């Protein structure tokens, strides 16, 4: 069941940072997230989506834990603790779940060192080094690249709250500096990065610019996000860094 639910979530609920970009406060209350995602048919970012998914799985009887992950930022290395929230479902083996990233695995990954999992956007593998685990990815024959690092220490949700507040308030927060929307699209991903729509596949990517006049229609038709006509599209289209220099992704 967890496999079906994970894939269905990625196919129907987008990862998106629209509220953060518009300085709209994002509540971490389960009822508020449920209203936003289920009733208003919106998406959210990792803390919202994985928190709501954890609530669903626990309601269905699964035992799971929140884990803290640090994202990989290329030359800048790994980010801080609590930068990303992921889920570990108890089992033999345990399973790693993540519906709040946008561009990692479609299917839950068994916690197995060195196992390779083939997905529509490439291959994924988990590698253990000491107490740390690394999610790695490669596409089209490229080298393995880290996506994030984590350990198996269970974290209460309250430990994420300081980082969540930072993502919503800091002028350095990348969530506030660009508009990002992701959705799984069968054989690949659809990514909106401010004004560029990208179709990501394992072997190729295609791009197109989105004009202001078509922006709300594109969000509705491509991602299922229906925003009111009065939404300030200009704010969503502002170049990266309108509030400062982004320090995370």
Nearest C-alpha neighbor of 99 from the set 198, 183, 205, 222: 183
Nearest C-alpha neighbor of 196 from the set 184, 181, 183, 176: 181
How far apart are the C-alpha atoms of 174 and 177, rounded to whole Å?
A: 5
How far apart are the C-alpha atoms of 154 and 64, rounded to whole Å?
A: 9
At 7 the pLDDT is 93
Helix residue spans in the chain (DSSP H): 2-12, 18-21, 30-34, 46-59, 161-169, 174-177, 215-223, 233-237
Tokens 């919202």 sit on residue: 48
Q: Give percent helix, percent strand, percent coil of the chain, each to the nearest 5.
A: 30, 30, 40
Render each residue's pLDDT in the chain as its tens digit; 249 residues: 667 999 999 999 999 999 999 999 999 999 999 999 999 999 999 999 999 999 999 999 999 999 999 999 999 999 999 999 999 999 999 999 999 998 899 999 999 999 999 988 889 999 999 999 999 999 877 899 999 999 999 999 999 999 999 999 999 999 999 999 999 987 789 999 999 999 988 777 899 999 999 999 999 999 999 999 999 999 999 876 544 443 443
Nearest C-alpha neighbor of 109 from the set 1, 187, 6, 15: 6
At 203 the pLDDT is 74
How far apart are the C-alpha atoms of 1 and 5, rounded to whole Å?
A: 6
User: How many beta carbons lie within 10 A of that of residue 124, not counting itself?
Assistant: 22
At 239 the pLDDT is 77
Nearest C-alpha neighbor of 86 from the set 61, 59, 114, 105: 105
> Please, what are the domains in the chain?
2-160 (3.30.2140.20), 171-237 (3.30.2140.10)
Q: Are 34 and 52 in contact (CB under 8 A)?
A: yes
How far apart are the C-alpha atoms of 72 and 52, rounded to whole Å?
A: 24
């Amino acid at each position: 069941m967890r496999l079906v639910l994970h894939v269905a979530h990625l196919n129907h609920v987008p990862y998106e940072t629209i509220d953060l970009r518009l300085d709209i406060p994002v509540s971490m209350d389960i009822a508020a997230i449920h209203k936003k995602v289920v009733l208003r048919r919106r998406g959210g970012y990792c803390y919202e989506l994985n928190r709501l998914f954890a609530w669903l799985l626990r309601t269905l009887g699964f035992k799971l834990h929140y884990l803290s992950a640090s994202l990989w930022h290329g030359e800048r290395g790994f980010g801080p603790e609590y930068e990303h929230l992921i889920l570990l479902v108890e089992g033999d083996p345990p399973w790693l779940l993540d519906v709040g990233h946008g561009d990692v695995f479609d299917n839950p990954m068994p916690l197995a060192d060195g196992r390779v999992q083939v997905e529509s956007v490439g291959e994924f593998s988990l590698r253990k080094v000491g107490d740390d685990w690394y999610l790695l990815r490669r596409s089209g024959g490229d080298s393995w690249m880290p996506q994030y690092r984590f350990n198996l220490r269970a974290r209460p949700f309250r430990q994420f709250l300081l980082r969540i507040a930072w993502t919503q308030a800091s002028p350095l927060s990348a969530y506030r500096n660009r508009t990002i929307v992701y959705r799984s699209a069968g054989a690949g991903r659809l990514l909106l990065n401010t004004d560029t729509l990208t179709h990501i596949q394992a072997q190729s990517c295609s791009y197109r610019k989105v004009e202001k006049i078509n922006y709300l229609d594109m969000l509705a038709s491509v991602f299922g996000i229906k925003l009111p006509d009065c939404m300030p599209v200009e704010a969503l289209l502002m170049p990266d860094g309108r509030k400062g220099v982004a320090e995370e992704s």
